[in-house]
Amino acid sequence: MKRALRRRLQLIADNSLERKVIVVINGKGGVGKSSLSAALAVAFSKIGKKVLLAEMDEQGNNSEDLGFSKGALADKGAAQAAAILDGKPLSPTGQARPGLYVLPGGEMLEDIVEELYCQRRLAARMDDPEDQAAWMGMYAAAIDAVRDDYDVIILDVAPGSEPLQLQALMAGDMVVIPSKSDPSSRKGLRTVARRFGMAASLNASLRLLGVVVFATNTSATRVQEQIKEQLAGDLRGAAPVFEQTIRAVESAAVACRSHGKVPQEMRNSTDIDPSLRRSMKGLAGDYQSLAVEILQEWVRTSNEFEETA
Ligand SMILES: Nc1ncnc2c1ncn2[C@@H]1O[C@H](COP(=O)(O)OP(=O)(O)OP(=O)(O)O)[C@@H](O)[C@H]1O
Ligand SMILES: [Mg+2]
């Protein structure tokens, strides 16, 4: 593990680590992490990128969002468990869409979390600070071994598990935080910002790409601006709040999950009534524009990274 982290530091120092791992994270549940991860994964695969979507969560929501919960692709997290616990290569269970490879979440992630707690306890007894931190790099080592196989890797991280969050932040290059504007979502955001700081001191590749304002039920520009200012304040200006927000349309979100499709795939569906189709089009447009903005920030931060490396 220690060797894997050292190798990564060397790659960063040599400026030969291609930045491509996006961590979608918030310490609060139900803020849109899985919906956003699935929509981004489909948006990137549609423009020809080879995508790996890993759900680091026992809930397995990605399989519902992409409609493979009852199919052969769903493995309850077994592929991740085999890689993290048994040292097997991190192999996706298959493609949920052309070019979109999945590593599903599910109950087997519980075993991973338990092992991570054990490793953390053992590490705490070590004298060398490098040994103390090495347990945080278990996912990073597994992801780094398959990095070159994909153009983009998206990690959809469970809200309640600190060990999994630290693993994801150690494995990632870019962090996207979806957040609602209510006090508990903002608290979740500040928690993640703290963990980000901890991981960033060890993972030099990590950058906070930005915050996505999720499911706002107002179109009033002034209120939107106030929300953005508050969220930026919570991060003490450490990252931008994306210009594009994701509108609140619960009926569309529910229809997407029950059909196993993301809004971009449902926008022209004849299975839904015209008024729902209109909201779906709006929501799909939000995700499309956000995907473009995220790509722009990805390029900008990577350029910045190369200049400072
Ligand atoms: N644009 C939207 N407007 C309103 N509700 C939405 C929207 N998008 C998603 N939802 C609903 O919000 C809930 C949470 O969404 P999602 O599962 O994406 O969040 P999450 O952060 O991944 O949750 P968890 O922490 O449980 O993993 C879901 O029930 C979903 O249907
Ligand atoms: Mg989720």
Where residue 234 falls among pLDDT bands split at 50, 70, 90?
confident
Q: Are 26 and 179 in contact (CB under 8 A)?
A: yes
Q: What is the pLDDT of residue 16?
A: 72
Residue with tokens 């003490």: 236
Q: What is the pLDDT of residue 289?
A: 97
Q: What is the pLDDT of residue 37?
A: 98
CB within 6 Å of ligand 1 — which residues? Answer: 29-35, 57, 59, 61, 159, 215, 246-250, 253-254, 257, 283
Which residue's CA lies nearest to atom 28 of ligand 1? 30
CA distance 108 to 261: 25
Which residue's CA lies nearest to atom 2 of ligand 1? 248
Where residue 9 falls among pLDDT bands split at 50, 70, 90?
confident
DSSP 3-state of 25: coil
Ligand number with the minimum distance to the CA of 283: 1
CA of 260 to the centre of ligand 1 (A): 14
Where residue 293 falls among pLDDT bands split at 50, 70, 90?
very high
Radius of gyration of the chain (CA): 19
Where residue 219 falls among pLDDT bands split at 50, 70, 90?
low
CA of 239 to the centre of ligand 2 (A): 22
Ligand number with the minimum distance to the CA of 251: 1
| Least confident interval from 58-67, 87-96, 191-200, 271-280 | 191-200
Where residue 216 falls among pLDDT bands split at 50, 70, 90?
confident
Count of residues in the chain: 309
Q: Mean pLDDT, the chain, as a whole number?
A: 90
- The larger pLDDT score, comparing residue 215 to residue 63, is at 63
- The larger pLDDT score, comparing residue 240 to residue 64, is at 64
Among 66, 64, 92, smallest CA distance to 79 is for: 92
Measured CA to CA in angstroms, residue 89 lies from 39, 82, 153, 222, 223 at distances of: 26, 8, 15, 49, 47
Q: What is the pLDDT of residue 309?
A: 62
Where residue 8 falls among pLDDT bands split at 50, 70, 90?
confident
Which alpha helices (H) appear in the chain, and where do they start and end? 2-13, 33-46, 61-65, 78-86, 109-124, 129-134, 138-146, 162-171, 183-200, 221-234, 250-259, 263-266, 274-308
Across 259-278, average pLDDT: 94
Q: What is the pLDDT of residue 221?
A: 74
Ligand number with the minimum distance to the CA of 65: 1
Identify the sign of the CA torsion 160, 136, 142, 192.
positive
Res. 12: pLDDT tops 90: no
Which residue's CA lies nearest to atom 13 of ligand 1? 30
* Nearest atom, ligand 1, residue 28 CA: 25
* Nearest atom, ligand 1, residue 283 CA: 1
pTM of the model: 0.94
Across 71-90, average pLDDT: 94
> Burial, 220: exposed, middle or buried (Cβ in 10 Å; 0-12, 13-18, 19+)?
exposed
**% of the chain exceeding 70 in pLDDT:** 98
Mutation pick for ligand 1 pocket among 250, 258, 289 (CB with most ligand atoms within 8 Å): 250
CA of 84 to the centre of ligand 2 (A): 20
All domains of the chain in start order, with CATH: 2-308 (3.40.50.300)
Q: What is the phi/psi pair of residue 99, to 5°?
A: 80, 0
Q: Summarize pLDDT for 165-202 with one digit per residue, the tens.
A: 999 999 999 999 999 888 888 888 888 888 988 888 88
CA of 58 to the centre of ligand 2 (A): 9
Ligand number with the minimum distance to the CA of 212: 1
Q: What is the pLDDT of residue 215?
A: 75
Q: How many CB atoms lie within 10 A of CB 130?
A: 12
List, in sequence order, every residue forming a beta bridge with 101; answer none if it has no partner: 52, 95
